[in-house]
Structure 1
Amino acid sequence: MTFSSEVKNELIRVNPTVRHCILAEILAIVYFIGTVSTSKNNEISLQINTEYSGLARKYFTLIKKTFNINTDVVVSNSALVRRKRLYSVSIMDDAGAREVLKAIKLLKNQELLDCLSLRSNTVLLNSCCKKAFFRGAFLSSGSITDPEKGYHLEIVCSTIDDALSLKELMEDLSLKPKITTRKKANVVYIKDSDQISLALGLMEAPTSLMNFENIRILKGMRNDVNRKVNCETANINKTVSAALSQLEDIQLIKEIMGLEKLTSNLEAVANARLENPDASLVELGKMISPQLGKSGVNHRLRKLSIIADQLREKVRRENG
């Protein structure tokens, strides 16, 4: 089971206890996956279609509990995905469909509202109702990536107006979503892990939130360990490369002019490096009498490098 499915299975079991929040969640389901049909006799029917049986069951329960209206449930094979079931929950009775649409403010004066704007829908006045709507929107048209793979929560909207309305509602809940276009759909998404954590809390998914946080902590620890290992590896490589370069310079000086012709200070450092090719600068400094600090050893090694470069240039001119 995917992480997204686990989150939705938890949210399915969240049942609002007050009518206004129930209406907000019904509004979200109808808004995202509902279809309103009008017959020649001007009779209205309301249908939702989903491939998620849990959502069909929750919608059925909310409608029955709130309005005591009979609904028709049909299970068929999905035309889009093989081996997938499509669940349809329909209110075919005109009076029942109108009652639901009127309650969720999509019907006014017996006229179906063409512009289903969330900004002006009075069902969403309260913060708790906005949370319920957000939960319903995610259940209907949302998904979340497994946090082991990345951080991404999204809700797909049919139109840019729907996406802008949902974005505004989420901003009212202190979320900071963005909008992108994917094929013909408009996607409202969050990529920040802190924001996704907040979203899971707003939708009332505490178990999923805890699992998300545990994975996030483990990933953070792994990343810290990897950074330290990479840093140490880089330092080791840098130290080894520097030591090899120093040995090459000192060997050249020894072969061409002899280390005894160096000043005593430089000769001491050169011999210490030749005898201890793997030692760090701090360790080299402790081997010399009188002892030197890291910067002192580094300064003398740079002088040896300059002398070696001068000898290479001299050899080049003589052979050139």
Structure 2
Amino acid sequence: MSLTTDVKAELVSIRNAAPTVRVAEVTTILRFAGGLHSIANRVAVEAEVDAEALARRVVRDLMEIYGVRPEIAQVQSGTGQEGVRYAVRVIAAGETLARQTGLLDQRRRPVRGLPNRLTTGSREELAGVWRGAFLAAGSLGEPGRSAVLEVSCPTSEAAMALVGAAHRLGIAAKAREVRGTPRVVVREGEAIRSILSIIGAGRTAAAWEELRQRREVRAGVNRLVNFDDANLRRSAQAAVAACARVERALEILGEEAPDHLRMAGELRLAHREASLDELGHHADPPLTKDAVAGRIRRLLAMADKRAQQEGIPDTESAVPAGLDE
């Protein structure tokens, strides 16, 4: 199952919420999953959801809270979404329900956002608003650079109402429009975990956070491996270049190379991948790494000076193209 399905399954299983919280949730579901329609000159309330369990939850809440008897029908989605969808419809008492839930104002005008009493309610009621919005039109992406919790909104006013509710809950959310559809998004990892916990998906929040931390650790390890690989590559290139220059220096100087400088050069060629400190331990008597580096540096300088005097290629000429010492 997807993370979105996991969240919705956990939210649908919530029971025994306070009546005002149930009102906030079911009203938001009606607003975000459908809304008002005119059927035979009568106002009908309809919500189209993606799971039968959610449809039955909406039916139960409407019956228990408002005393109406909705009908459920399987429908073909008009938004191109895959899978079976379920429409919960209230026709006979649609206008009364619309007034009671605040989807119609006192002048029988549709409310474009959310009823004011919901967005100014208690923390529990605000959590109910967000739970209803996610159940109706929410989605959760996997942790990573593009991690996002997103809710598609019916209007820009509804999006702004949801953003306001998030801010009152201490969650940073933003409204944006994607291909003409208003959306509310929560992007920062800690904010996503927090909003999941607040709306009641604590189990999924913990699993999502564990997955996020695991991926961050893996990404950190990959960065370190890449860093180490780069350092090893540079070290190997430097060793190849250094050995090429020493070989050329000994070739240029021949028998004229001082014994102590020749010995340092031959150590370098005999132990091509060793560090300067390791080369010093191989010397007889042992030398410090600074002493080894100094002798090799003087050997190269002496050979380059002789090459300049004789007009022949110096030690740099022996370094393979593309390598840096």
TM-score, normalised to structure 2's length?
0.83
Instruction: Give the whole-Å Cα distance in 2 for the aligned partners of 1:152 and 1:17.
Output: 27
Cα displacement string for residues 10-68 of structure 1 (whole angstroms, at most 9, x for unaligned residues)? 11112352111111101211221222134676x43211122332321221121122122
Q: Which residue of 2 aligns with 1:279?
A: 274
Give the residue type in structure 2 aligned to 1:21: V
Aligned residue for 2:9, secondary structure, equals helix
Instruction: Give the whole-Å Cα distance in 2 for the aligned partners of 1:138 and 1:298.
Output: 67
Q: Which residue of 2 aligns with 1:106?
A: 103
Instruction: Classify 1:92/1:237 alpha carbon distance in 2 versus 1 (closer, same or farther; 3 Å).
Output: same
Instruction: Classify 1:198/1:254 alpha carbon distance in 2 versus 1 (closer, same or farther; 3 Å).
Output: same
CA drift at 1:179: 3.3
Aligned residue for 2:312, secondary structure, equals helix
CA drift at 1:80: 4.8
Q: Which residue of 1 aligns with 2:225?
A: 229
RMSD: 2.9
Instruction: Give the whole-Å Cα distance in 2 for the aligned partners of 1:302 and 1:189.
Output: 61
Instruction: Give the whole-Å Cα distance in 2 for the aligned partners of 1:132 and 1:91.
Output: 22
Q: Which residue of 2 aligns with 1:85?
A: 84
1:13-92 equivalent positions in 2, closer than 5 A:
13-15=13-15, 17-38=17-38, 43-81=42-80, 84-92=83-91
Instruction: Give the whole-Å Cα distance in 1 for the aligned partners of 2:132 and 2:302.
Output: 76
- Give yes or no for contact 2:245–2:300 (8 Å, CA) kept in 1: yes
Instruction: Classify 1:312/1:105 alpha carbon distance in 2 versus 1 (closer, same or farther; 3 Å).
Output: farther
Q: Is residue 237 of structure 2 the alignment partner of residue 246 of structure 1?
A: no
Give the residue type in structure 1 aligned to 2:9: N
Q: Which residue of 2 aligns with 1:169?
A: 165
Instruction: Give the whole-Å Cα distance in 2 for the aligned partners of 1:224 and 1:15.
Output: 41
Q: Is residue 184 of structure 2 the alignment partner of residue 188 of structure 1?
A: yes
Cα displacement string for residues 268-320 of structure 1 (whole angstroms, at most 9, x for unaligned residues)? 43222111011123322333445314x66556555555556666764259xxx
- Give yes or no for contact 1:249–1:304 (8 Å, CA) kept in 2: no
Instruction: Give the whole-Å Cα distance in 2 for the aligned partners of 1:234 and 1:240.
Output: 10
Instruction: Classify 1:13/1:248 alpha carbon distance in 2 versus 1 (closer, same or farther; 3 Å).
Output: same
Instruction: Classify 1:231/1:305 alpha carbon distance in 2 versus 1 (closer, same or farther; 3 Å).
Output: farther
Structure 1 residues 279-288 or 254-263, which shifts more? Answer: 254-263
Cα displacement string for residues 242-263 of structure 1 (whole angstroms, at most 9, x for unaligned residues)? 1101000100101111375258
CA drift at 1:161: 2.8
CA drift at 1:230: 2.0
Aligned residue for 1:14, secondary structure, equals coil
Structure 2, unaligned runs of 5 or more:
315-325
Instruction: Give the whole-Å Cα distance in 2 for the aligned partners of 1:308 and 1:54.
Output: 85
CA drift at 1:189: 1.5
